[in-house]
Amino acid sequence: MIGGNFVCQEVLPHVQYEQLSKSPKVLMGHSDITSLLLAVHRRTGLVVFYGPSVLSSLGEFPDVLPFTRDNLLRVLFETRAVGELAAASSWTDEFLDWMTGEDSVRPRFLRSNSGWQWLQSGKAQGRLIGGCLQVMADMVRRNIDEIPATAGAVFFWESAEKNVHEPIEVEAVARDIATLKDAGILKHIGGMVVGRPYGYTTRMCAELGAALCVVLDNPRIPVLFNADFGHTDPMLILPIGAESTLDSFVGRWSIDEPALAERTAGGRNS
């Protein structure tokens, strides 16, 4: 419904993966559900979806934001390749408390979107693999075998919020990136896409971009920054396991096949 605090990993030993393979469902969400999405994709080969949660995004007042709705229909209800992705014209990370009903009084304020940013140039083609950075860093410690193979992947990640709707410090995000790197998860990726960090100022975004490039220490791969997915709205729907192209030379990020095509189960990281 809304995510959580690393608790989704507790259900992984109890998931009936074989039954899910025989009767596939659309599995979608973001943040804490990252661990379930990655484990299901690795064990079954099914495409799963990093996208809106029921309460926090699909429950938007007075209606789902058009960018989210249009991308949801495009990814889940069309049989053709998803195609080129585009930036939203506006976005928000304002929190209106649904427990008090504050979110039912007015829509959240939207700010103009300055667009995506290429931190490093290059071209990559590979499967989309990724999710919430903090959850994946925790999976390295607790369930690394459930992270799909990332060799050649277009690897995407976004940073969650700290405590109650506060941004996570740049240094802490950089440490989590280093955790993935040290575990070998980033060693052979083809490219990277970074979602808009929650609660970040322009200065913090610049600091994170610089820190990311230092930690990666791999200028040969394209890196796209500040894309529309994660803990801000509206959001793209990213099919984990679908083929994707990242090309800074023409300014293009695309999903090159239908999102619901069948897949072969992925392997573990070597």
Query: Does the pLDDT value for residue 64 go beyond 70?
Result: yes
Q: At what angle do helices 34-44 and 133-142 cross, to 10 degrees?
A: 60
Query: Does the pLDDT value for residue 119 go beyond 60?
Result: yes
Maximum pairwise Cα distance, the chain: 51
Query: Does the pLDDT value for residue 211 go beyond 70?
Result: yes
Q: What is the mean pLDDT of residues 91-115?
A: 92
How far apart (Å, rounded) are the C-alpha atoms in residues 99 and 64? 19
Sort strands 223-227 and 191-195 into parallel, antiparallel or unpaired: parallel
Superfamily of domain 16-255: LD-carboxypeptidase A C-terminal domain-like (3.50.30.60)
Compute the radius of gyration of the chain from its Cα atoms: 17
Closest Cα partner for 194 from 121, 237, 133, 239?
133
Query: Does the pLDDT value for residue 123 go beyond 90?
Result: yes
Per this entry, what is the length of the chain? Answer: 270
* pLDDT for position 269: 41
* pLDDT for position 270: 32
* pLDDT for position 268: 42
Mean pLDDT computed over every residue of the chain: 93
The model carries a pTM of 0.94
* pLDDT for position 262: 55
Write the pLDDT tens digit of every residue in 71-87: 999 999 999 999 999 99
* pLDDT for position 263: 52
Write the pLDDT tens digit of every residue in 212-263: 999 999 999 999 999 999 999 999 999 999 999 999 999 999 999 999 865 5
- Identity of residue 31: S
> In this prediction, what percent of the chain has a pLDDT beyond 70?
96
Using an 8 Å Cβ cutoff, are 82 and 259 in contact? yes
Write the pLDDT tens digit of every residue in 160-186: 988 767 899 999 999 999 999 999 999
Within 10 A of 264 (CB to CB), how many other CB atoms are there? 8
